[in-house]
Chains A and B, each alone.
Chain A
Amino acid sequence: MEREALQAAVCELDAAVSPLDANADRAAVVVEASALPAIVRRLRDEPQFAFAQLLDHVAVDWIDRGQFELIYQLYSFKHKHFLSVSVFVPRDDPRVPTLCRVHPVAEWQEREVYDLFGVLYDDHPDLRRLFLEDDWVGFPLRKDYQDDFMLDRPR
């Protein structure tokens, strides 16, 4: 499917899905956090989409808007198309349902995002730090992260 057609078709799935104008090279949609697992499951199972693999999971800290953007990159081997699914969650209460039951690899991709951004995944079977020690304080990839070892930026 072409990019625009795919984006339109995905948006027709549910009222919780809306298009995202992202000037990315692929179709992009925004999904409400509560509807995320159901939508991704349908995207995986319905034959016209067949998004079998969760390629990547990224978080972006939009500190000016007070939001985290969680981006899921999906790929379909059958149709050879990509889709980027974004979820916006508030910075002061970052909670989103886990995708572990739909795509098992999400377990570790979500652990990475928890480790570096502090996003909490509801019903995650094993939410732990991935790279940093268990007793690390703070979430380093947040834009307002500070610790004693950080240097001032050279100007």
Chain B
Amino acid sequence: MTVEVSSLKELVEQASGDDRSPDTQEYFVNMGPQHPSTHGVLRLVLKLDGERVLRCIPVLGYIHRSIEKISEHMNYMNCVHLTDRMDYLSSIMNNWAVSKAVEEAAGIEVNSRIQYIRTIFAELERIQSHQLWWGVLGMDLGAFTPFLYGIRDREVLNDVMEETVGARLTMNYVLPGGLMADIHPNFVHRVKEFIKYFRPKLDEYDDLLTNNVIIQERLRNVGILSPQTAVQYGATGPVLRGSGVAFDLRKDHPYGVYDQADFEVPVGTIGDSWDRYWVRVEEMRQSLNIVEQLLDNIPPGDFLVKKLNSKIKIPEGRYYSQLETARGVLGVFIASDKKDEPYRLHYRSPNFNNLWCLEPMIKGDYIASLIGAMSSLDLVIPDIDR
């Protein structure tokens, strides 16, 4: 039994040492941390043979903000606000995950109005997250138009949510015990208009990208991730479902009011970039269905069950809670020592675990395919670094 702690420099030197071939030279390229298609500050150290990727070593930590350490000195109400800054495209779902963990641990029951509104907002946010991903995927593959289309429709949805929430990115809407504010009187009406507006746009998306022969060539049979590898490498969310494993917490362990909505979980077949693309586009349709079913049934009631009190105390013990964000399973672990601050708070972020599928997906393939495959993972870097 040996323990050896190495460094990136040693790893790169070690990996470059086995270059003995007379007709080819293997070399290293740094991709990022400012590369436009890494969607933030992700750095990949690539070992290349010509254009073939032999190794892909992700280097993290460029925007590590030690959210877990900061949270140890904050009460539970404050912890919620930091989660907006992790996966900024699923901020309401992040808030909800912490609120759900705190509510389950402290025994706070919330009424069904709160659950309905949370579920509807989570689905709206899933749609806007996938809209942005769809546009950016087109741009990563060299097509600029989809980005404009995606942002155009996302703006419409953002306006609807902004009216209630008051913010466009770090929404900060869900609290332990309820919501920041009640929904705006226009909300139901405007969401219905949005659904009417966006359904035909999804067909337009299909015309522009899905049925486009260039996109199909770039995505089909590229970055194949077998179901076994996906499970072993910790993938969840659309990445895992693209590989054919029908695991969705909304279906398998329902929370909120997902058990009252009728929806399907789209599943891919061979796990290539195309399957992950198709799963997300299909998820937008399913999310529209969920919102449509729930929208007319929002029951009356308060939007906050408990008066806002920062001194929520949680009994001693370990608590674990999770929910499905736009990218996969977000788990919240709380270790409590009876105080109003967490003794230890840990986030199992979906992107952190999905990222490691990149190397098995892309090994031996071209560097151009890497861009498309990485885009199909839908990485958000602040969520990896936390």
Contacts and interface: CB of A to CB of B under 8 A. Distances in A.
Interface of A: 22-26, 28, 52-56, 58, 60-61, 71, 73, 77, 80, 82, 84, 95, 97, 103-105, 107-109, 112, 114, 116, 120-124, 126-134, 140-141, 153
A58 B346 contact: yes
Interface string B1-35: 11111111101000000000000000000000000
Contact of B61 (A26, A52, A61, A130): A130
Contacts of A109: 234, 353
Interface in B276-312: none
Main secondary structure on B side of the interface with A: mixed
20 contacts: A24-B318, A25-B319, A54-B234, A56-B348, A60-B335, A61-B344, A73-B320, A80-B252, A109-B234, A114-B5, A120-B3, A123-B1, A123-B3, A124-B3, A127-B6, A128-B7, A129-B61, A130-B61, A131-B385, A134-B9
Given A126-B11, A127-B5, A23 B318 contact: yes
Given A25-B319, A73-B320, A140-B66, A97 B6 contact: no
Q: 6 nearest interchain CB pairs?
A: A105-B234, A131-B61, A134-B7, A23-B317, A56-B348, A122-B1
Nearest to B5: A127
Contacts of B104: 25
Size class of B's contact patch?
35 or more
Contacts of B210: none
B17 to A, nearest CB: 16
A104 B233 contact: yes
B116 to A, nearest CB: 23
**Interface-centre pick from A108, A112, A132 (highest chain B CB count, 10 A):** A108
Interface string B310-330: 000001011111100000010
B318 A84 contact: yes
Interface in B184-221: none
B64 A131 contact: yes
A62 to B, nearest CB: 9
B331 interface: yes
B68 A134 contact: no
A104 B360 CA distance: 11
Given A54-B234, A55-B348, A121-B3, 9 more contacts: A23-B318, A25-B319, A58-B348, A80-B252, A126-B6, A126-B11, A128-B7, A130-B60, A133-B61
Given A73-B348, A120-B3, A141 B69 contact: yes
Contacts of B366: none
Given A77-B247, A97-B1, A131-B61, A26 B320 contact: yes
B329 A55 contact: yes
A127 B319 contact: no
Nearest to B4: A127
B149 interface: no
Query: Interface centre among A24, A80, A123, A134, by most B CB within 10 Å?
Result: A24
B147 interface: no
B182 to A, nearest CB: 30
A122 B253 contact: no
Nearest to B228: A52
B231 interface: yes
A153 B74 CA distance: 10
Interface string B52-93: 000000001100101011000100000000000000000000
B317 to A, nearest CB: 4
Interface in B232-257: 232-234, 236, 245, 247, 252-253
Contacts of A105: 232-234, 353, 356
Contacts of A126: 6, 11
Given A24-B320, A105-B234, A131-B385, A60 B343 contact: yes
Most chain A CB inside 10 Å of its own CB: which residue of B73, B104, B348: B348
Nearest to A150: B69
Contacts of B236: 55
